[in-house]
Structure formats: C-alpha cells, structure tokens
C-alpha cells in the first residue's frame, strides 16, 4: 500500500487509514481485524479517548502492542466524560491536554503517540494554550506530531497559522465536498488532510441502493436528489466503493482516507476496493456528478 507524508512531519502514513471507533469490544475479534489491516499494509490507526469511555484505546493498545515499531497511532483529546458517565464536557486546557495524553498512553500501552489531535474546538478556546501544550509534549518526546479534528473554518483559520500542526481530520467525501474550499489554505499552513466519512454512511459503497432505503436525504441532498445522484454515480462507476476512495485520494492535500470496519469482511472490502482503483481514475468526472458546496456556519 502506498504512503503519503503527513504535513511537515516524518510520518509517512498509508493512503488507507483505519478508524478504530467501530472495532468490536470482543478482544479476539478486534485483534483479527487489526491483524488483517496491518498485514494489508495499513500503518495508520486512529482512535480517541472519547470512544467507549477509553475502552477503544485499550483494545487498540492490546492489538498493536507487538506491532508498535511498524505502525502509527493517532488519538484525540478535549472531550471529557462526566463523573457520572452520562455525557461529556469540553476541556481544551493545557493541563487537560497533557494529563489526557498520559492517560491515553497508559491505555494504549505505549510510550508515545505518533499523532495527537484536538478533538474539536471553538473560538472560545485559547489556541495559544492548546499549541503550547502540544509543543510541550512534542519537546518531551511524548508525541511526534499534532493537529486538529475539525470542520469549522474559523477554528482552522485561527489554529493553523499559530501552530506547527501537521494534520487536520475532516469529514470529506464525494457527497460532502465542503472541505475542498479549504484544502489550499491547509496545505499552505504545512498540514495535510486526513479524511473521515469517506463512504458517507455507506451511501458510497456497492450496496448504495440498500443503504439509500435507510436515509431520508443526506446533508443538503433531498431524498430525490440523493437517489438521482447515486444512480448517476453508479452508472458512471459501477464500482462505487472504489470510486469513493479514489475521489478522496485524488486530492494531493489528503494524506490518508480513513475507513472503519466492525468485522474482517468489511475491512477486506475496503482494501480490495483501494487496490482496484485504476491508475487513470477520472476524478473530475465524479466531481461533475455531485454538489460542490461550502460551509455555511463557523466561517468568521
């Protein structure tokens, strides 16, 4: 599997990354999925302290502890579970970012994280303090690179210029093209995009017709628009899943596109679709079938 450089870091991450949030809680089954991912060349694994109240990090740590030297682990911080376990609150303070990292390292059974991300953020946060926390952790060798998971333009415009962030995780797909407006800005700040939501809740897969029945539109697409658009995509690209992955990877700003799986079969489908992608994939034709939209909120 090919790799791409994440921002200005020394990390060369696989074009397909693995989103760990959907891993099953059963350790043996999770181990099988992780093993298939690694054996297939996936070297980038994304989790967060929020997922399953930290249990996801524990599962990932168990599954990767014997493979640590050859893979990259990314996690996130900022969302804190309430003491009663019912919901969570936001904390982007330096104190919490540092303590959160140490808790994540314990759960992940590792001495360092390759990529650490702020898991959201608003203009009410002190991004000077956030940056200071990340830079402190980097100097101490506890993280190798840092970034942010956000789809808010005003947050990106504030945080990226004052930091040395190497990556921005964003929901992005052929059905959600809002991030494209910001790709040039992100790359000019020295960062790469790591895309999530690549298959748009299953709508951009080869089972799109079945998935369509479970939706009543998607983002700004009405149900009829969604039906028409997916039909046109399938006519032009019978292998919808491969085209969806190819669309994201066609953009040089994107370092990796994240796929998730709750079983081995789902993961294998994604990996096989990646390898079926033709070298002359026509990105522009697919773009012509979908809406090019902009974020309408959190711009200023």
User: What residues act catalytically?
Assistant: 51
Distance CA 284, CA 218 (A): 22
Are 168 and 30 contacting, i.e. CB atoms less than 8 angstroms apart?
no
Q: Helix axis angle, 223-236 relative to 240-249, nearest 10°?
A: 90
As a whole number of angstroms, the distance between CA 290 and CA 49 comes to 35
Number of H helices, E strands in the chain: 11, 12
A 10 A CB-CB count for 287 gives 15
Q: Compute the half-sphere exposure of residue 258: CA atoms within 13 Å on the CB side of its CA.
A: 24
Distance CA 42, CA 97 (A): 27
């Amino acid at each position: 599997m090919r790799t791409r450089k994440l921002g200005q870091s020394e990390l060369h991450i696989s074009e397909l990354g693995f989103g760990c949030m959907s891993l099953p809680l059963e350790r043996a089954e999770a181990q099988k999925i992780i093993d298939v991912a690694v054996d297939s060349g996936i070297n980038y694994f994304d989790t967060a302290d929020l997922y399953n109240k930290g249990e996801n990090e524990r599962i990932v740590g168990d599954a990767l502890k014997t493979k640590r030297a050859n893979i990259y682990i990314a996690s996130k911080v900022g969302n804190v579970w309430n003491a009663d376990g019912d919901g969570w609150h936001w904390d982007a303070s330096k104190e919490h970012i540092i303590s959160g990292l140490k808790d994540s390292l314990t759960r992940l059974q590792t001495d360092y994280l390759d990529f650490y991300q702020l898991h959201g953020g608003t203009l009410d946060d002190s991004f000077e303090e956030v940056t200071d926390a990340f830079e402190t952790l980097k100097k101490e060798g506890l993280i190798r690179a840092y970034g942010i998971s956000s789809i808010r333009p005003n947050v990106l415009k504030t945080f990226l210029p004052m930091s040395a962030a190497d990556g921005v995780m964003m929901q992005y797909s052929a059905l959600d093209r809002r991030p494209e407006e910001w790709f040039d800005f992100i790359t000019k700040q020295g960062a790469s995009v790591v895309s999530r939501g690549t298959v748009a809740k299953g709508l951009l897969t080869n089972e799109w017709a079945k998935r369509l029945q479970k939706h009543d539109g998607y983002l700004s697409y009405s149900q009829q628009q969604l039906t028409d658009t997916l039909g046109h995509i399938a006519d032009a690209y019978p292998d919808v899943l491969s085209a969806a992955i190819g669309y994201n990877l066609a953009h040089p700003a994107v370092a990796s596109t994240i796929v998730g799986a709750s079983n081995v079969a789902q993961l294998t489908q994604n990996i096989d679709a990646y390898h079926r992608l033709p070298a002359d994939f026509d990105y522009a034709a697919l773009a012509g079938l979908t809406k090019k939209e902009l974020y309408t909120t959190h711009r200023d």
